[in-house]
Structure 1
């Protein structure tokens, strides 16, 4: 029964997550940032393809077509996905009857409170060009999904039902961090 519940959650997660990243047409550039700016900036991130596809999929029209805007959009996308991940965890919490999984999901929810708040602050700090703060907050946000994964490691016979979401948030934060560092280095 335990393995069926975990399998159900894993299938559910894979079916619906991450809808903001995987349900778009990669060839459709919805943002006003030119493809060459996005491609050049994303080439310097750890998850290049995810960087390019997520930024091109963004509906926001940037104020200009520079690295600052690409980094700002990357942080915003990480924030949206962390918020979505937390929302999905809350939904899972309401549908699972396994107490150890409930406990882990509650801990993950509390951990994601920090990640979401840090990413929200980071997105706001772009207006004042507070790149040092953004770098610190995004780096801190990368730790929270990894901490969430660690909660599930203590349950024998279970695997984390939120691994996919956590991995995407870490990858998006990693890209946002790399882009923000590039902007900060250009400002010094």
Structure 2
């Protein structure tokens, strides 16, 4: 994960050297077309790299995907913490283990999305983002269908899905 973060930062720095300064109007224009413009705007602008490096649509897309990845990593850490408890019911533990695997898959797919975005392969970005959505939807389905529903994890899933769908909309605008 650390290697990926370093690679992401390097790529953003390289892209920014070609593009110039941030354009908050561009971020706003892209986010207006998403399903959740407020979340889109706040998630991109809250990223440290958005102030310096968000000068092009492609850079904004990379930042949007990195925001989803950060969200997925935080949720994965939340699940890991829950799994460390010794008082879990077996059904809850099974559900959380499935969700942990789903989030690990989603993080890998988001990493692949960023690599595809850097290569300007928008069709591949679409495939990987949809795969990440599918992985987290599987977690949500497990939460709904089994014992051991976790309200906070359900809410985290919803935020993840919104962030991912926002990134998908931005990607579609770039193709």
Stretches of 4+ aligned residues off by more than 3 angstroms: 61-64
Q: What residue number does 1:40 align with?
A: 29
RMSD in angstroms over aligned alpha carbons?
Answer: 1.6
Q: Is the 8 A contact 1:149 1:160 kept in 2?
A: no
When normalised by structure 1's length, the TM-score is 0.75
Q: Aligned ranges for residues 162-173 of structure 1 at < 5 Å? A: 162-173=153-164
Paired with 1:153 and 1:107, the residues of 2 have a C-alpha distance of 13
When normalised by structure 2's length, the TM-score is 0.80
Match 2:101 to one of 110, 113, 121:
110
Moved more, 55-64 or 90-99: 55-64
> Are residues 1:53 and 2:42 paired?
yes
Q: Is the 8 A contact 1:79 1:116 kept in 2?
A: yes
Q: Aligned ranges for residues 1-150 of structure 1 at < 5 Å? A: 33-61=22-50, 63=53, 65-95=55-85, 96-150=87-141
What 5-or-longer segments of structure 2 have no aligned partner?
Answer: 1-20
Moved more, 97-106 or 59-68: 59-68
Paired with 2:83 and 2:154, the residues of 1 have a C-alpha distance of 15
Q: Is the 8 A contact 1:145 1:167 kept in 2?
A: no
Paired with 1:109 and 1:51, the residues of 2 have a C-alpha distance of 25
What 5-or-longer segments of structure 1 have no aligned partner?
Answer: 1-31
